[in-house]
Structure 1
Amino acid sequence: MGFKIAFFDSKPYDMESFDRFNQEYGFELRYFKEKLSDDTVFMAKGYDAVCLFVNDEVTSYVVDQLIAMGVKIIAMRCAGYNNVDLKAAYSRIHVVRVPAYSPYAVAEHALALMMTLNRKIHKAYTRVLDKNFTIQGLMGFDMHGKTVGVIGTGQIGQIMIQILKGLGMRVLAYDAFPRPEMAQNLGFVYVDLDTLYRESDIITLHCPLLPSTEYMINHEAISKMKDGVMIINTSRGKLIDTKALIEGLKSRKVGYAGLDVYEEEGDYFFEDYSTEVLDDDVLARLLTFNNVIVTSHQAFFTREAIDNIARTTLQNIQDFIDDKPLTNEICYRCGQDPSSCQKVKTGKCF
């Protein structure tokens, strides 16, 4: 019998890419449409591994049940891991992820949100469809010469900075672990968050969701920003307190918001609710603003990214089977991004 993998929250594009790359590995794959949760974990019985996406919930109960059923490894087919109870998993079951599937895809989507909001492309498109060719109300601003604040200078943040520098923008950045040499090479300046908030015309988020970053964009942070600031989030929904953002939009302190993620997205994103009433009052309110664009967690969604996700995920599992170092393992002991965990870097978390 081959190594059996249960995929949760599966979509047709997952099946196509994983089936194609699995020809090199020969695993037994089973796809479930359901998300993994306390209520669906029983479906993992009889499998050696589970493969999960961003909105699957790995609670302590789920961890206990997976281990009891003989599941040996949790393979996240994404970079995010905030829905995994790493404390419950630590030293009991391995958890691996795909740290970088296409940083270009995410950075380019963030740029698309910026430009669409600025030049009001979404409004112009619908206006022209109605044979209305006026340009009143569509005025934007030159991005050249403006100041942009980039929060997080990992792979995606670095590519974002290069793109923005190419537009002639002044780039400020914040990172808990700054790299001065990189700043010098790319031509940006590290500053503290208060300075970034105060001086930036546009703020774009490219950091992980950690206890230290949860709701970092809140009432207090927004109050420090420029009037009419543009906020872009293609990272994690809970980086932003959505109610505070709505208050900022209502007061016009926030002039634009481009969101590819939402703090309560798990119940909606990746699904079709076009024939139903939206019962999330906060999300419904957010969608009423004409200076807000929400996309449904699609920043990663390019052919190159999907292929890299499948390839890396299957290789993570093969490395586990072959008892090789798990370089993409997530470590609870870090208390921060796994890239800083020396145990992971040197081979194994436990």
Structure 2
Amino acid sequence: MAIEKLPDGRWKADIEPVKGKRFRKTFKTKAEAMRFESTCRAKVVETPEWSPRLKDTRRLQELIDRWATLHAHTLSDGDARRRLLDGMAKDLRNPIAIKMTGKQYAEYRAKQLTQGANPKTLNNRLGYLRSVFNVLHQLEEIDYPNPLARVKPLRLQEKELAYLTDAQVEHLFAVIHERCRTPHVAMVAAICLATGARWGEAQALTPERVGGGLVTFVNTKGKRVRSIPIDPLLEQQIHRHFKLHGTFSNCLNSFDKTLDATKLVLPAGQASHVLRHTFASHFVINGGNILTLQKILGHQSLAMTMRYAHLAPDHLQDAVSFGPQAWKNAFSSEADPR
């Protein structure tokens, strides 16, 4: 029998339009089962290779597993991101992925906020989970739209980018030379200040990557090789350091402790990164081109570099020159300061 009623009240369609090709599916009503039967018989006549697509009932964790298999190996932080996504699936109670809604995720995020989660961290998590659906859709692993496409990231207060004055830089190196026992700290800090490099990029330099008036960073955050011109004196000092002390060791903790000893007041999270901000800030203050700075810092997006634009000597001065001048009519002749 092609359609039969099951003990639980549902209707089962069991159809074999041609020998050896059989379709089975269960429905709530007989009418739905009959429509399915008609569709199958008609489609098989039109297209013998046709087969109805099975409903995707995989849960979120199963999709994360597939994402990890197909894509995580292409990321430098694939394992760490996988662990984070696994935790999110558990916190979201591992829903059927195709039925997941933006509201469901928004409720999860609101709960995380009440528990003290950092808003920026939650924005990162939203991006990571969106990426799971986007990547699997691109690879044709799923055929439905991203359920989180309409969830907006939290609006964040822009953080202050602190930088050191020349006097503060002098104080920093005085404390490094006085208190720090690790010989590499001063040289790595100098490279960061002279090139805008991240601490890890400078710390990974080797003798063969310093020469010809350039330092070449290869283990960059953006995964691109970046060569930056340096002063001849700095080049000499770097090679002299390598001869005396060997290649750099991991000395970030030593720098952080020394920075604490300087009593310099910095925004939270800006320890060694203040050296990079100091380079960028002084570069712009001294009239450097913002597009050149983008290349030096290795920013993939100009928006990241534009955070320093307000430090330029002529930043927004056109507001005075080119804005409407009629505001001057607001003052009577008695108010003339002359």
Q: TM-score range by the shorter chain?
A: under 0.3
TM-score by length of 2: 0.21
Q: Which has the higher contact order (CA 8 A, sep 6+)?
A: 1
| Structure with the higher helix share, 1 or 2 | 2
| Structure (1 or 2) with the greater strand fraction | 1
